[in-house]
Amino acid sequence: MKQGGGMELFVWQEIYSVGVEAIDNQHKRLFAIANRFHAAYKQGAGRSALAAIFKELVDYTVMHFSDEERMMLECGYPDYDRHKANHEKLVGLVLGYQRQMQSSEPGVEPHAMNFIKTWLNGHVLGMDRNYRDCLCTAPLAAKG
């Protein structure tokens, strides 16, 4: 995560890498969407513009989680059930923010922004690093 007053919330660094190119590329894309949401928010974009970017984040997150879960199953990741349950919880939270953004509920944007910061940073550096060894040693990692 970047510190300071710039418009980018996330700057990709090797510390975020899980060692599987396909997943790293998806994480980079999630960071890019989060950065667009952050920039639009900081520039005072309207609710509809922010909601559109957030929808893109939700849709891409669902696809990403599906890919991650498939890869975890293919390599026999032993903590798959807990990781999948965490994904389901996160999807529920992002869908909740998406519903709030699509409604006329005031003030949801800063809460959504804080959630994005905490979630992406915590999930990629936390739970996703836990499957690194399993995915990196599996034959599918070569497909990257």
Q: Report domain extents, the chain.
A: 17-143
- Banded model confidence at residue 138, pLDDT cuts 50, 70, 90: low
Q: Residue 40, Cβ neighbours under 10 Å: how many? A: 18
- Give the pLDDT confidence of 67-108 residue by residue, as tens digits: 999 999 988 999 999 999 999 999 999 999 999 988 877 889
Is the domain defined by 17-143 classed in CATH 3.30.1300.10?
A: no
- Burial class, 49, CB count within 10 angstroms (exposed 0-12 / middle 13-18 / buried 19+): middle
Confidence of residue 127 (pLDDT cuts 50, 70, 90): confident
Q: DSSP class of residue 5?
A: S
Q: Which of 3, 110, 107, 100 lies closest to 51 in space, CA to CA?
A: 100
